[in-house]
Amino acid sequence: MKVLVTGAAGFLGSHLAEKLSLLNHEVIGMDNFKGGYEDNVPKNIIFHKFDCCDLKKMNEVMKNVDVVYHCAATAHEGLSVFSPYEIGKNNFLASSSVFSAAVSNKVKRIIFCSSMARYGHQQTPFSENMKPKPVDPYGIAKVASEDLLKILCELNSIEWVIAVPHNIIGSRQKYDDPFRNVVSIMLNRILQNQAPIIYGDGEQKRCFSYIDDCLNCLIPMLDQKNLNKEIINIGPDEEFVTINQLSEICANVTGSNLTPIYKKDRPKEVKHATCSADKARKLLNYKTQTNLKTGVEKTYEYIKKRGTKPFNYYIDIEIKNDLTPETWTKKQI
């Protein structure tokens, strides 16, 4: 099968493209290298460097493609409140380009990687039958992309699946990104003898997914018939930990005794966020195979082996005021 993976130099996209290639699919990958690393790109795929918003090029690489996995995103939920134009463009407009080219070229199925940000402030664990209530521009862009996908696919008789991964950790994650990926930020700082930074009181709660567990859900979405028109949370719901507890796990894994630095709350941050995995268990036989501590250990070994990096403030902050975290405006991370 011929498969297109957007964001193939990114964290999730590169792993997915590699896995699909190893399963003997013809994989086309594309990325603009803004949110990933060039050496993430699997060697055994056909790769194109361009931005998802380039509709002309998207149509060119989409020819004769059977299935699309749209993984590319500027997945910066917290930052989106302060850079709504950039985050909106790189999520909704980019998705519009991907979906338009896919429909024009008559693909059979589109798998869209959405976000837990679709749920907003609702009772945990979030379930797929909840009405989306995003509270920030990133979540709004993701839900709008979901709606666009459904409209275009239903109009043109194309199958669709919406995957909702959350807080993925593991190798190939962009660990020099100061705006997202809390585990990688903590580990990159600790390895440079800098204390972890925690926003608010650290009692925000999250579940974290190891990359392999997510892939085990995404791969069957390629052609499993009973997944058409399904929205499926992918990731664990067993270890629901606070950011303070996460910091302790990172300290234990690294042997660090650095005391966390606490900063004021980030606006619009959802305090408690995790997804129910019941639907994934039913439809995909999902089972968490890598617990949080092991996932942190593997992420730590990856960063340690690859080498620490200074944080790269590669996205401009559009709105700077008293609400904007000084860790970003003053580049304190």
Mind listing the pLDDT tens digit for each residue in 224-252?
999 999 999 999 999 999 999 999 999 99
- Average pLDDT of span 182-211: 98
Same domain, 219 and 324: no
Tell me if 100 is assigned to some domain: yes
Same domain, 189 and 164: no
Same domain, 243 and 126: no
- Average pLDDT of span 192-208: 97
User: pLDDT tens digits for 249-294?
Assistant: 999 999 999 999 999 999 999 999 999 999 999 999 999 999 999 9
The token pair that represents 274 in the structure block? 């995790």
- Average pLDDT of span 105-119: 98
- What CATH number should be reported for the domain holding residue 299? 3.90.25.10
The rounded distance, in Å, linking the Cα atoms of 297 and 210 is 11
Nearest to 173 by CA among 161, 181, 163: 181
Same domain, 142 and 11: yes
Tell me if 281 is assigned to some domain: no
Same domain, 70 and 158: yes
Tell me if 305 is assigned to some domain: yes
Binning pLDDT at 50, 70 and 90, where does residue 185 land?
Answer: very high
Tell me if 278 is assigned to some domain: no
Compute and round to an integer the Cα radius of gyration of the chain.
Answer: 19
Q: Is 138 a catalytic residue?
A: yes
Report how many domains make up the chain: 2
What is the sign, positive or negative, of the torsion defined by CA atoms of 146, 148, 154, 156?
negative
Query: Please, what's the b/e burial string for 33-61 (b: 16 or more CB within 10 A of its CB; e: otherwise)?
Result: eebbbeebbbeebebeeebbbbeebbeeb
- Give yes or no for a contact between 260 and 197, defined as CB atoms under 8 angstroms apart: yes
Same domain, 265 and 179: yes
pLDDT of residue 54: 98
User: pLDDT tens digits for 21-43?
Assistant: 999 999 999 999 999 999 999 99
Same domain, 200 and 153: no
Same domain, 160 and 249: no
Tell me if 182 is assigned to some domain: yes
What is the sign, positive or negative, of the torsion defined by CA atoms of 90, 175, 44, 16?
negative
User: pLDDT tens digits for 133-158?
Assistant: 999 999 999 999 999 999 999 999 99
SS3 content of the chain, % helix, strand, coil (to 5): 40, 15, 45
Same domain, 63 and 91: yes
pLDDT of residue 271: 96
Run of H or E including 327: helix 326-329
- Give yes or no for a contact between 84 and 44, defined as CB atoms under 8 angstroms apart: no
Same domain, 19 and 153: yes
Q: Which domain holds residue 17?
A: 2-168+209-234
- Give yes or no for a contact between 283 and 232, defined as CB atoms under 8 angstroms apart: yes
Same domain, 55 and 140: yes
Counted residue by residue, the chain has a size of: 333
- Give yes or no for a contact between 95 and 102, defined as CB atoms under 8 angstroms apart: no
Tell me if 44 is assigned to some domain: yes
Same domain, 119 and 268: no
What integer best gives the mean pLDDT of the chain? 97
Parallel, antiparallel, or unpaired: how do β-strands 241-242 and 205-206 relate?
antiparallel
The rounded distance, in Å, linking the Cα atoms of 91 and 21 is 26
The rounded distance, in Å, linking the Cα atoms of 220 and 223 is 6
Query: DSSP secondary-structure letter at 92?
Result: I
Q: Which of 37, 138, 286, 300 is catalytic?
A: 138
Q: What's the one-letter identity of residue 174?
A: K
Nearest to 261 by CA among 167, 173, 207, 190: 190
The rounded distance, in Å, linking the Cα atoms of 92 and 146 is 9
Tell me if 280 is assigned to some domain: no
- Average pLDDT of span 126-132: 98
